[in-house]
Structure 1
Amino acid sequence: MKTKILLAALATALTATAHAQVKVEDAIKWRQSAYATMGWSMARIDSNLKGTYNKEEVLKAATVLQAIANSGMGSLYLPGSDKGKGWVDTRVKPAFFTEGAKVGKIAGEFNQAANDLAKAAATGDAAAVKTAFGAVGGTCKSCHDDYRAK
């Protein structure tokens, strides 16, 4: 038991140290990569809803969205990362960093919607997936509308 506690404390310390050493450019790259992956997953679900529905493909894509939504991506919004370049210039608006309560609300809604989508996908019910997919898209849109430069 003491070994587990010691290992947990060590892992926490290493994670905190690693987080403190993240370069702004790397944080921007990682979040851009995550958003690109989410876009691909959304496109996969959308194509299944518009064409032949494949439960397994939808479940894979929904699980990716859920994992990213619950990954703690907020930690990639380091001070100063409203400017700069990852793979491309960042498009996050400075307001993202000053409107914490509103950003947190949108992020929480996105997490919940992604979790609901994964649950719906697991059932194989295309109608439930379509509804849940719309909710995820709505949370994406609300953040893009307020915090993503065109």
Structure 2
Amino acid sequence: MKSVIVTLLGGAVLAASLSAVAQVAPEDQIKFRKAGYSYMSWNMGKIKAQVIDGAVEYNQQQVLAAATTIDAIANSGMGALYGPGTEQNVGNQTTRANPELFNNFPDVAELSGNLNQATANLVAAAQADDQGQIRAAFGQVGQACKACHDKYRMD
């Protein structure tokens, strides 16, 4: 039942976000989605350095801020940035999105829903200030990202 709800929610988010596509040129859609994913990656790196690697001293507020940022981006309607014409390079913007992504929006919506759930779990773990939970939730986010990358990201 939970996976059905996640799929339906992901589909609703994707459908709502696609309605905003007409407002953003394809070249800008690619640029904005790349920026969003880069910012998510940077924040994942902050958590990794503090909780996984221990390369930086743990600071609960910094980890919570990073987790909240990742969750906000994941739930920001990024699906709107996969509009027509963005399955290929446009202008000076290159994309690594596999064109198959654009033919499989129901699967993408499910993967997106899984990411949204994983990022929510990461925020909850950071709020609880439990490094064990943060590590587990961080792994869930990584797996959710990887699931989409493995199917729909070109090298």
Flag whether TM exceeds 0.5 (same fold): yes
Q: Which runs of 5+ in 2 are unaligned?
A: 1-17
CA deviation string 1:29-71 (max 9, x = no partner): 0000000000001100000112132111110100100100110
Aligned residues of 1:32 and 1:87 also touching (Cα < 8 A): no
Letter in 2 for 1:100: F
1:49-99 deviation line (CA, Å, top 9, x unaligned): 121321111101001001001101101100110112476410000010111
C-alpha RMSD of the superposition: 1.9
Q: Does the CA-based 8 Å contact 1:29-1:86 persist in structure 2?
A: no
In the TM superposition, what are the counterparts of 1:1-150 in structure 2 within 5 Å?
19-49=21-51, 50-51=53-54, 52-85=57-90, 88-150=93-155
Q: Percent identity?
A: 44
Range moving further from structure 2, 33-42 or 48-57:
48-57
TM-score under structure 2 length normalisation? 0.82
> 2:27·2:93 contact (CA, 8 Å) conserved in 1?
no
SS of equivalent to 1:149: coil
Q: Matched residue of 1:84: which SS?
A: coil
Structure with higher RCO (Cα < 8 A, 6+ apart): 2
CA contact (8 A) 1:117 1:133 kept: yes
Aligned positions, number: 136
5+ residue gaps, structure 1: 1-15
Determine the structure 2 residue equivalent to 1:6: none
TM-score, reference length from structure 1:
0.85
| Aligned equivalents of 1:145, 1:69: Cα separation in 2 | 18
CA distance in 1, matches of 2:144, 2:91: 24
Q: In the alignment, is the contact (CA less than 8 A) between 1:84 and 1:90 conserved in 2? A: yes
